[in-house]
Homo-oligomer: A and B are copies of this chain.
Amino acid sequence: MMRRGDQLLLGFLFCLFLSLAFAEGGRIRHYRWEVKYEYKSPDCYKKLVIAINGRTPGPTIEAEQNDTVMVELKNSLLTENVAIHWHGIRQIGTPWFDGTEGVTQCPILPGDTFVYKFVVDRPGTYLYHAHYGMQREAGLYGLIRVALPPGVSEPFQYNYDRSIILNDWYHKSTHEQATGLSSLDFSWVGEPQATDRQLDRSLSALSFQIEGHNMTVVETDGHYVEPFVVKNLFIYSGETYSVLITANQDPSRNYWAVTNVVSRSSTTPNGLAIFNYYPNHPRRSPPTVPPAGPVWNDGDSRLAQSLAIRARQGYIHPPPQTSDRVIVMLNTQNKINGHVRWSVNKVSYNLPHTPYLIALKHKLGHVFDQTPPPNGYDFVNYDISIKQENVSATSSNSIYRLEFNSIVDVILQNANTMEANKSETHPWHLHGHDFWVMGYGKGKFDMYSDPQKYNLVDPIMKNTVAVQPYGWTAMRFRADNPGVWAFHCHIESHFYMGMGVVFEEGIDNVGELPTSIMGCGDTRGGTFHRP
């Protein structure tokens, strides 16, 4: 609820869920979570979710900068394992608690309690979510809110602080989704299932707006943004934004808040909520028709928002002016043995059986493909704008090994899918780092001219960035966090279908691994831990 004149900070994440920020004192934030299946019906359709302590989204983690968060996670699923990723937390010094099954840890078995313990070193609003199979889609996610320490204030003011998670919601189980995606008789997760009388949502890219109220964007992915005003905010899976809203409209009524799918033509109905002016009843419908939101295929407006996002003056992290290595990643849709897959440079990613972090630290080189993945594609001859005749690709679990402390540029190059005149939006998320967003462009990236246009002055740092249809996005990061880090499209089904890579850096500087992350693949069984 808002009173006229109030300023509101909205933290956006990818059911409408409100949480108050009660940042308590103390340096260790201890949470005890039980993960299990429960029946829920948030949209009046009763289905199983994977809940934390009976809730989806799970409990919000509240901490202050430099606190240690400790989550004791008990897996009370009957036959399923689990793993949780702390999205946006860089895990400096604790790469083993990144929660990425197959990359940094073995899954947590039914009946097991696993303790995640890590420092939240930067204020901001972040996410946590399952990083195993497609369990995130089953409702296993929530918020992490890291407050500034006492005495430090944000470079903007507000009266109230509310958080909203925008999330895909499917009626099918994750098992059904994954089976459909991996079947020869391919079925996409996101299309309405008329025969089941259910309506699934495919919300990779969304717009959010509040009727009659502009929003001032002030923060994204834990970094302050040079403020700019939007009527609607475009947001991609894995991103977080903070916006300021001034409650300066007619207080005798409520207003619609609307979210709608953009970047793909969708029959999913728009998500609606009510922006409430006190003392109106919070459920009193506004007297207006909800705004329709922007049209789905207005790519220029989306690109314009991306270009408007720059680091706030006084909070700029200057980027290195040059890089040591450039990796170009062509994003394509392919077929392997009849299965629909996504690929990077014609290599479709699959997870190894023994997590890389353990394999590399303990020199179990045989557990994954040692051939490095390609640094690029056939720039000269590949036409990104057309449907390809040859849609074949290979599968691999090979990884990019980066020189420690080197500066790495990654160019994400989008292309046409296997369907003519179609290219999708992919939000790429990097674990363990923030990166600088150096530039965006349309068409094929030009290795000679496009780097000249990079923003070397005030690029924003993020952990997730979108690559637009038929476009490219350039990012730069310093490989200074010893560990093994996934970098992948944050659309759950795309990563499952191979749209990801893995970086190793400074493995020799990784400390002794906790045995709790072991127990699968080549690290299975055999030792007895007597109490």
Contacts and interface: CB of A to CB of B under 8 A. Distances in A.
A215 to B, nearest CB: 38
Given A527-B525, A527-B527, A179 B111 contact: no
Contact of A523 (B175, B185, B520, B527): B527
A180 B39 CA distance: 8
Contacts of A82: 79
B132 A79 contact: yes
Interface string A156-185: 000000000000000001111011100101
A528 to B, nearest CB: 6
Copies in the complex: 2
Interface in A472-529: 515-529
A109 interface: yes
A523 B364 CA distance: 21
Contact of A525 (B178, B519, B530): B519
Given A179-B48, A183-B39, A79 B135 contact: yes
Contact of A176 (B48, B110, B133): B48
Interface string A56-91: 000000000000000000000011111000000000
B178 A78 contact: yes
A95 B399 CA distance: 42
Contacts of A525: 106, 515-520, 523-525, 527
A454 interface: no
Interface residues of A, number: 49
A110 B107 CA distance: 10
B78 A79 contact: no
A39 B78 contact: no
Nearest to A102: B111
Contacts of A522: 528-530
Interface in A104-136: 106-107, 109-112, 132-135
A237 to B, nearest CB: 20
Interface in A214-237: none
A1 to B, nearest CB: 32
- 6 closest A-B pairs by beta carbon, nearest first, are A518-B525, A519-B525, A526-B527, A79-B133, A78-B133, A519-B524
Given A518-B526, A523-B528, A526-B527, 15 more contacts: A37-B179, A38-B183, A48-B175, A78-B175, A81-B109, A106-B525, A107-B110, A111-B353, A112-B520, A518-B524, A519-B524, A519-B526, A522-B529, A523-B526, A525-B527
